[in-house]
Structure 1
Amino acid sequence: MPATCAVYNCGSEGERVLPLLAGGEVRIEYVTCVDHDAAIRGGEEYLIEGRGRSGREILMGNDLPPKLKSISTSGLGNSSVLYLNLVLRNGEEGQVAVTVTPEDLELLGNPISKESMFEPTPIAEQ
């Protein structure tokens, strides 16, 4: 049985091997269709997510998470709220409101670092 493209919601036959370097060192290969292989190699935005048929799938297009537009806060009353203002991939806007404590704000800052979040995953040499 032929492999299906590793891109979420794509039912096309996987015809190309897309080798990626996780952390710049570990080679992981995904089987993709011709169109998604070309799109990724051409620089289209993608994200590897651990929720797929085989444990990990590639998200692209409208399946990508929303983009962060802005952050605002409100501290009226006896609690504080953090508002994440988002732009959905279909162009609509939305907002998520989360009640936060000072400890929560420290927790939010810990996993966010330029080194771990913004290093692109390179495509490995064939």
Structure 2
Amino acid sequence: MNTADRLVAALRAAGIATGDAQARVGDVQLTGRYCVVWPVLERAGENTIGDPNTDRIIDMQITSVGPSRKAADQVAEAAGAVALGVLEPPDGQTWMCAPEYVVGNPTMREPPSDPARPDTAMWARADVYRYYLTPA
């Protein structure tokens, strides 16, 4: 399992409805309160001169969604607690240090996807977390 898989599994284990890079889980469309995990960036970090690219720095975005600003913020806070908590490391890796919160955007109203139902607008907030990995 990679970092995204571990984060998705931890969010779901915490009881948060979670999509893996899409707002769907199998054939079920996520509605109400949920979050979606997006792998943002992975880059090689520093290591020894003999094996310089074995460390990894991975940024993961969690977009939290709810029917109101308050609901989206509650999902974001719950997801953030999981993202910054203790996660199993990806296969063949171990954590170099604790994850960190990198950046986020304000909770904003998303326009409805169905123009015939303007009351179905949702609120969303995206937060990015950084993970530091080294070979196990």
Say whether the fold is shared (TM-score over 0.5): no
Which of structures 1 and 2 has the bigger CA Rg? 1
Q: Which has the higher contact order (CA 8 A, sep 6+)?
A: 2
